[in-house]
Chains A and B, each alone.
Chain A
């Protein structure tokens, strides 16, 4: 079973620090200050705000992943327990975006070596002549694969709102629920 990250809307204060930490963690250059980069900020999670709750939503790392199953290019692969996008294969067709039941796949400009990558063929026609067009690729949560210190969102959250949901954690929770259910039934029978 795939591990995923989930936030607790009861704890979330809606500060968006997770989105920022996520965007910074995935830039392939080191950026410390807000003014240091002209690159677009591309978080792989989104803080959802309603009048009642705030809560970041991110990829659930589906075990039967609609995004991967619909991808004609085979660009979403399963590696070390995480569903990961292969940027080189992705053509930005948006099928995964539509298929994701959580809405947590996005198509955004591709950044490599600290710069926006341009397409080889497709150009933009403008009044000032033809201009380079950026490469767009799929962005989704990769659990900060390879990052020292683990997922950046968990590390930065001032409210401790995130939990890593892994198999053993879910099994432990389920066992507790089964035990509670059994005791509940037994107690009711005594009455």
Chain B
């Protein structure tokens, strides 16, 4: 089976190596770690994790309070949400921040808030959605590059 757009796929899948090559000399050259990384807005990231956890708790409470199903393993479901939701919230915050930093769109505070809480609510499904969207974006980029290359 031939992989479609194998060049774009390999470029995108080796992005972590590019990021490491870019970060490594900076990390080595930094006098202290906190000097370089202290300027980052860690409070907002921590707040995104807390908001994601809140989204997971909202999902649990709605599952408990509605009549759709009886939740028998309350603690198990709560622990699963508590592990997954903060990570999903942080990932959503970083994605929105990336979009805003690149200048592709302006997101108001309420939109960012809802994105973080919604990703915490979705949990694992958020990561599945992100992977699907990244695949679609890679396919679209490859199509565009191929189309651009053709005369």
- Do A and B associate with each other? no
Which residues does A use to contact B, with CB under 8 Å? none
Residues of B within 8 A of A (CB): none
